[in-house]
Structure 1
């Protein structure tokens, strides 16, 4: 007898994780446009308000009790043991910015919470800002624009100033971090000699990156511009101190888009006040600087308010990456940009 056809199996329902946003209202408004929220809603089941910027309230705990995944951002409170106790279903965190140090605690790793970061997306504008400052700094744009405004003389550009220009200038990259590597890539089309110091990158790998590996002192002594991209670790706190700053060429430029505490700011103030070097600082310690801090009045210094990272329409890139991470995780494919307890040691 012919076998009866098997009954069709019931279609499987895709897993739609319960997701809540944990960040400041300002961060949520910046990153999650209505379009981004709609895209997130296509792959998950968003928890009802409130937005979680305080995880200790009764409302927050009611939301936490139901969530499988948190989408975090700037202003997210620490996810400590008490928070995790209120979130028994929480299995993953997708962060819409770079560093997760401020909110991912040991309790998260002990729970086995999976963590993702949008650092790869945020690295792109930081690298672009850095390259722009290197090229503008090489031509002394800020100083010459100031002089032009004061004198109204167009012949400023004809002055023979030593060290001005980007042709065959030397740029030193401190650390082959994600951002440092992107900066090196973006600098390739220019007639620049690019040096790298990174204790974890040997001469062969540096050559593959199109740069020359040098010692730390040599980097500062030979470069017309030094760009700092090292993460802030115990070993790198105050790394750029008096000795390295003293090695820099007169008129050289120091660019820092990493962390303010990587620099010895007292030593930096001394060399800036002496007019020996120039600086572009997108990060400081503390950040922001207090009103009366001497760095504000140092000549040859540009301080920007953390502009290098994502701004304006660049926030869309963060949202798109995060939605993609949530989609992958819900499908069981894991995060494409995971952060682990081991890798966090080396991240900014």
Structure 2
């Protein structure tokens, strides 16, 4: 989208304040993107805060019209609304806003947007890569080769068959990420099943998948990937009974939230040697250093890296900058977060 003209920018740039930690700011706003931001809004000094306590922060809020939030943002509660009478919008550079924006903002009619669509891209790419590598049983072959130092040999016979042609992938949650994963899987010779109580058969068909009940999907899938939101009724969605439904040598991938899986039940199943779990998220998170998950056979941990990081965060910044520009031009937002959706989104 083209930038605002110089005349318009100089005449009436809205005042804005960035709320995020230093690392997020450094990743999101390279010189070009920071220059674009300065062209769209009036930023005070300092440009960024990660703590709203104290008289200086309160003074900044008093004249702020747009809050640009990101990782490390303080929680925005009714006290922030009271201190910012001219606030018009909260533009979030991350995915979920539920943990740091109070429902009071929607009650007062404040526009809230997020970059969840942009953040879905790297999560889906991470998931696709994991599905293909796990479907090929790459980790088992790499470890066997390292241990036995021979290309052939009977050690290969113990590795389960690859499933990258004719196998079945189950997706829990036809969310932004779930839909994108299904679409990315289209070129491959895999059947894709989806379980989501809020989805229609047509929704699944549109991304090349088939909608089924969760239990049926778990029993039929070689690889299961979780993309459902963290809600009270999704806590331990995969409990001991459902984990037991997973077929021998299945792979479970979780890039959503750790609370969706009963960790103790997962550990018990993985210790049997009949399930692999690739966990980019855990419960709790972060894990204590002495967590048994680090040493449980069959469990692979990554430190919450599926989402945007480093250069990938440019997509998030661009999404936020585009929303700010639309707001300045009086155009409707593209990525508005509706208050009534808070009960079903991540």
TM-score for the superposition, normalised by structure 2: 0.94
The secondary structure found in structure 2 opposite 1:159 is helix
User: Partner of 1:95 in structure 2?
Assistant: 92
Q: Determine the C-alpha separation between the residues in 1 that align with 2:9 and 2:138.
A: 61
Measured against aligned partners, the alpha-carbon deviations of 1:26-81 in whole angstroms (never above 9, x if no partner) come to 21111112221111111111122052211112221121111100000011111111
User: Partner of 1:6 in structure 2?
Assistant: none
What are the within-5 Å matches in structure 2 for residues 1-348 of structure 1? 15-49=12-46, 51-155=48-152, 159-160=156-157, 161-348=159-346
* Uncovered stretches (5+) of structure 2, i.e. residues with no partner: 1-6
Measured against aligned partners, the alpha-carbon deviations of 1:293-340 in whole angstroms (never above 9, x if no partner) come to 111111122111111000111011111111111000111113110002
Mapped contact 2:163–2:222 kept (Cα < 8 A): no
Mapped contact 1:15–1:331 kept (Cα < 8 A): no
Q: Determine the C-alpha separation between the residues in 2 that align with 1:93 and 1:60.
A: 16
Mapped contact 2:141–2:156 kept (Cα < 8 A): no
Q: Determine the C-alpha separation between the residues in 2 that align with 1:159 and 1:11.
A: 67
Q: CA offset at residue 165 of structure 1?
A: 3.5
User: Partner of 2:3 in structure 1?
Assistant: none
Between the two proteins, the alignment pairs up a number of residues equal to 339
Q: CA offset at residue 156 of structure 1?
A: 6.1
CA distance change for structure 1 residues 12 and 272 in 2, over 3 Å: closer, same or farther?
closer
Measured against aligned partners, the alpha-carbon deviations of 1:196-253 in whole angstroms (never above 9, x if no partner) come to 1111223333223211111111111000000000001111011111111101111100
The secondary structure found in structure 1 opposite 2:224 is strand
Q: CA offset at residue 158 of structure 1?
A: 9.3
Mapped contact 1:98–1:118 kept (Cα < 8 A): yes
Compare 205-214 and 277-286 and name the one that shifted more: 205-214
Q: Determine the C-alpha separation between the residues in 1 that align with 2:222 and 2:40.
A: 49
